[in-house]
Each structure stands twice: as structure tokens, then as C-alpha cells.
Amino acid sequence: MRLLIAMMKHETNTFSPVPTPLQRFGHGPGPLYGEAAVEAYRGTGSGLGAYLDLAEREGAEIVMPIAAGAPPSRPVDDAAFEHMADAICGAVAKGGYDGIMLDLHGAMVTESLEDGEGELLRRIRAIDPKTPIAVSLDMHANLYDSIIDNATVVTGYRTYPHIDTYDTAKRAGEILLKAMRGEIRPVMAWGNVPMLPHVMRQGSDDHPNRELQARCAAMTAPGTKAGALAASLFTGFPHADISNAGLSAVVVTNGDRDLAERLRDELLDQAWNDREAFVYQIEPLQQSLARAKASPPPAPGEGPIVLLDHYDNCASGGTMDTTLVLGAILREGLDNVAAFAIYDPEAVQQAIAAGIGAQITLSIGGKTKMPAIPGDSPPLTVTGTVKTISNGRFRNKGPMGRGVQMDMGPSVVIDTGKVEIAVISRHVEPSDLNCLLALGIDPLQKRYVMLKSRVHWRAGLGALAKAVVDCAGIGVCTSDYSQLTFRNVRRPIYPLDLPNR
């Protein structure tokens, strides 16, 4: 057996100013290829890790042309997309595969294309019309016909935070292997409804997504009458001004198209009926911080209060350098705080030059202009001691992306006396405990931890937190969708076109 396995992942925030060149696609400078890619992902809790385990179990020969994944940012450079698609299509053209297993995102927009993954799959099918293709997608995929039309089986995550990337790819791979052996004949039905669920309301531990994902699992439970091979509900990625942004579903059955369509409609109806529960209510920042300040300090053994700077999550395309929330924390005099993180490679270099223990005054953040949103995020001047200097590398402890190598780039911690501020040189969302520990910050010793995140922080830090206070700041993954100008998304769409808006 010979398998082609590859990864091309990007969640595109079309409102983001953060560039997306090829170099961004890797946990270091650029993608990995061939044996280096296999080595990096073998034994990890990633989608590629699952495909590699399946290949090993089957005794298959593996061809891995490229493993490329970038943190969310503006539309992917055309040249970067062409390079990644060429790497995969070039390998496909050599032929001789029994199956193709792809770990994709589903919300990749390029400078020229609304649907990067659909175009990749269309090109693969044009070269090789026959070899079965498995595709594993993120729950934030914005689905298009081309993705479904050119794949054999498509599956999506059931968890947000995404702690089932491995299981999702395994599900796709297992179905593919059965199809390759002729044991099943997968058919797929997909569809969408005109709604943009708010990202802050998409967590799979909360209503309504909890019940939707449970329904997907029930549809595929062995021995049930429903009998789908796979069922996926995509909450979608709303910070993308493209026609198909929003919620969708795909159901895979063994040769039964009617059943696939019926189950798909059931999922979409349930989501549509729950649409109001996907709307997020914003609390003004002053009110949030006053609430945080008034809450009692954690008792011994209790974790910190998380101050969630959710407008500037780099894993949703945020610049990670806005300072509105951090500035307010400093002004309000909150004590015993850790802040993760401000992206500012220049400030990092200044702190490194000053050295450990040096007292410095630095201008941090506010360096990236955000023309797509109203308001301004000026740099913040801070004075403190250089507490930590690090190369910024760590491996995820998990449960999200367990074992995957991460790279914050050169990183420092500036201690103002009240606030320890992490300043980093590559975008990494605080979804893993080790991003803090790697910089010498123990969140359990803090009264407050400010995180630039929306939902993924819960994966690694949720269980440690005593409470969470959402802090409305500024950034291109703004939770106030009225700040975004949508020109291309299909209209009307809920909740942008609510009768009262």
C-alpha cells in the first residue's frame, strides 16, 4: 500500500493586516518536506500524527511532500499557495497511490481565491480522477462545493478547543482505508445555513454547540439506526468576508444519499433553531476590569482569574500587539498579573540587548496598523526588569496538539513589579500551559493572567482558572461584528441582518 499524506492549513481572517508569506507555514521558518515532515509529526496528537499511525499500522509506504501550517492571518500570498499546491500536486502526478490523506483547514482564502482547499482538491482530481481522498478539516471551515465534490470523505473536529485533531483525521483515514478495500462506498451530502455563529459562543463545552456535536457523534455511533459513517457540523469562521462564511454540515454514509441528506438537514435545522444562542453579548472593558478587581484573591490552591483579551487572538488573525486591555490593567493597578503576550520582535531585541536583570523602559506593541477596523491601538510604554530571555521554543503538553513543537521566536518577560509581560517574536496563542512555563511564568502563583485568546486557552489553562472575565479590547478578531464591513458574504445572513440592525 502506498499513501500520499500532506498538510496545508491556514485559517484566513480577511480583515487581518498580518502578512501570510510561505515562511509563516511552519513551527520555524517555513514548511517541512519529506522525511523532516514525517519526523516532526510522527507520534504527535495532530492530524498528521493520526494519518502516520494508520499508515504504519497498514504497513504502507508513505510519501509526504509537504507539511505546512500557519497561524491565522490575512489572505495567503498567491506565491505561497502555488508553492504548497505545487508540492502536493507534483507528488500526485508521480502516481502509484492507493490513497491520499490530507490534513487541511477549510477556511483558507488566498489573494486570488475564496476557497484555497477547494482549488487544491480540484487540481488533484484533475491530475488523478480516481485515487480516494480523505480530508480532515477544522471546525472553523467555511465549506464550498469544490471541497466536497473532489474528496471521497470529509470529516471535521467535534471539539472547540480543538483537542480531537488526531481523532478527526483518524476517522477520515479509517473510512478511506475501508473505501480503498472496497468494503464501503462513501457518499457525502453537505449544506449551509445563512448564519455566522459568534466565535465566543462556539465552544463545544457550551450550549448550543455541545448538543450539535453530540448529535454528530450519535449519528455515527456503531449499531445505531442513523448509521452515518461520519457527520460533521462546522461552526465556521466569521472573520472572513467571503460568500460561504458561516455554519455548514457534511454527512458521509455508505452509499445512501437520501440518508446523508436527511441527517445533514437535521443538523442544519438544529443549528438554525439555536441561532440566538450563538449570539455573544459584549461587556464594556471598564465594567469587566472593575468586576475583576472586586473579586477576592484566589485562596491557596485556587488558580488565577483569567482576563481574556478576546479581540486580539492571534489564532483568529489578531496582530497580538494591541495594548488596550494591558494598558487598562496597568492603569487600574491590578497586582500579581501575568500577561501573555505582546507580539513585538523589536522590543524583544531591545530587552535582550539590555540583558537579564536590567531595568528598562520600552515601547511595546501597537506597531501594526489595522485599517479594516475603527479605532487605534497605540504602543504602550512600560518600565520594568528583564526577568526572562528565551528562544521561545517548547513542545505542547496537550491536550491540544500534544507533542507538537511550538516556536514563539526570541521571547522575553518584562516584570513591572505588578505585571509580568511576555513579549514574543512569533504568533502563538496561549492554548498550552507550556507557553507560560517555558518563559518562567507559573500561572498558579498569579492572581490574574491576561490571555490573548478566545476559546482555545481553555484547552491547556481552563481547568486551572478560578474564573474568567472577558475583556473587550481592540483587534481584528473583534467580537463586535458591527465593526467589520462585509461586502462578499451572502446576504441576508444572521445576525448581521437582524431586522433591528
* Binding stretches for Zn ion (CB under 5 A): 138, 140
Rounded to a whole number of angstroms, the minimum distance from the CB of residue 313 to Zn ion is: 11
When the beta carbons of 138 and 312 are compared against Zn ion, the nearer one is 138
Do residues 377 and 390 make contact, with C-beta atoms less than 8 angstroms apart? no
When the beta carbons of 156 and 384 are compared against Zn ion, the nearer one is 156
Residue 277 DSSP one-character state: G
The Cα 414–Cα 361 span in angstroms is 10
Strand order in the sheet with 230-234: 186-192, 248-254, 230-234
By three-state DSSP, how is residue 49 classified?
A: helix
When the beta carbons of 235 and 322 are compared against Zn ion, the nearer one is 235
When the beta carbons of 49 and 186 are compared against Zn ion, the nearer one is 49
CA gyration radius for the chain? 22
When the beta carbons of 165 and 220 are compared against Zn ion, the nearer one is 165
Rounded to the nearest 10 degrees, the angle between the axes of helix 78-94 and helix 116-127 is: 30
Residue 446 DSSP one-character state: -
Do residues 489 and 245 make contact, with C-beta atoms less than 8 angstroms apart? yes
When the beta carbons of 49 and 203 are compared against Zn ion, the nearer one is 203
Rounded to a whole number of angstroms, the minimum distance from the CB of residue 233 to Zn ion is: 13
Q: Cell for 253? A: 454514509
Within 10 A of 206 (CB to CB), how many other CB atoms are there?
A: 14
Rounded to a whole number of angstroms, the minimum distance from the CB of residue 429 to Zn ion is: 11
Residue 296 DSSP one-character state: P
Given the DSSP bridges, would you call strands 2-9 and 99-104 parallel, antiparallel or unpaired?
A: parallel
The Cα 230–Cα 218 span in angstroms is 10
Minimal CA–CA distance to 313: which of 155, 161, 189, 439? 161
Within 10 A of 417 (CB to CB), how many other CB atoms are there?
A: 9
Rounded to a whole number of angstroms, the minimum distance from the CB of residue 325 to Zn ion is: 22
- ∠ Cα 113 117 118 (to 5°): 75
When the beta carbons of 140 and 310 are compared against Zn ion, the nearer one is 140
When the beta carbons of 114 and 138 are compared against Zn ion, the nearer one is 138
Rounded to a whole number of angstroms, the minimum distance from the CB of residue 349 to Zn ion is: 32
Q: Cell for 388? A: 526572562
Rounded to a whole number of angstroms, the minimum distance from the CB of residue 404 to Zn ion is: 15
When the beta carbons of 380 and 476 are compared against Zn ion, the nearer one is 476
Q: Cell for 278? A: 450563538
Given the DSSP bridges, would you call strands 419-424 and 337-343 parallel, antiparallel or unpaired?
A: parallel
Given the DSSP bridges, would you call strands 2-9 and 67-69 parallel, antiparallel or unpaired?
A: parallel
The Cα 354–Cα 382 span in angstroms is 14
Q: Which residue is nearest to Zn ion (CB)?
A: 140
Residues 6+ apart with CB under 8 A from 391: 410, 411
By three-state DSSP, how is residue 324 classified?
A: helix
Rounded to a whole number of angstroms, the minimum distance from the CB of residue 25 to Zn ion is: 16
When the beta carbons of 138 and 321 are compared against Zn ion, the nearer one is 138
Rounded to a whole number of angstroms, the minimum distance from the CB of residue 105 to Zn ion is: 7
When the beta carbons of 140 and 458 are compared against Zn ion, the nearer one is 140
Question: DSSP letter string over 469-495?
Answer: EEE---STT-S-GGGS--SSS-SS-BT
When the beta carbons of 150 and 316 are compared against Zn ion, the nearer one is 316
Cα distance from N-terminal residue to C-terminal residue, the chain: 56
Q: Cell for 145? A: 462545493
Rounded to a whole number of angstroms, the minimum distance from the CB of residue 209 to Zn ion is: 12
Within 10 A of 79 (CB to CB), how many other CB atoms are there?
A: 12
What residue has cell string 457527520? Answer: 231
Rounded to a whole number of angstroms, the minimum distance from the CB of residue 65 to Zn ion is: 24
Rounded to a whole number of angstroms, the minimum distance from the CB of residue 171 to Zn ion is: 17
The Cα 186–Cα 179 span in angstroms is 7
When the beta carbons of 140 and 426 are compared against Zn ion, the nearer one is 140
Rounded to a whole number of angstroms, the minimum distance from the CB of residue 139 to Zn ion is: 5
Rounded to a whole number of angstroms, the minimum distance from the CB of residue 188 to Zn ion is: 21
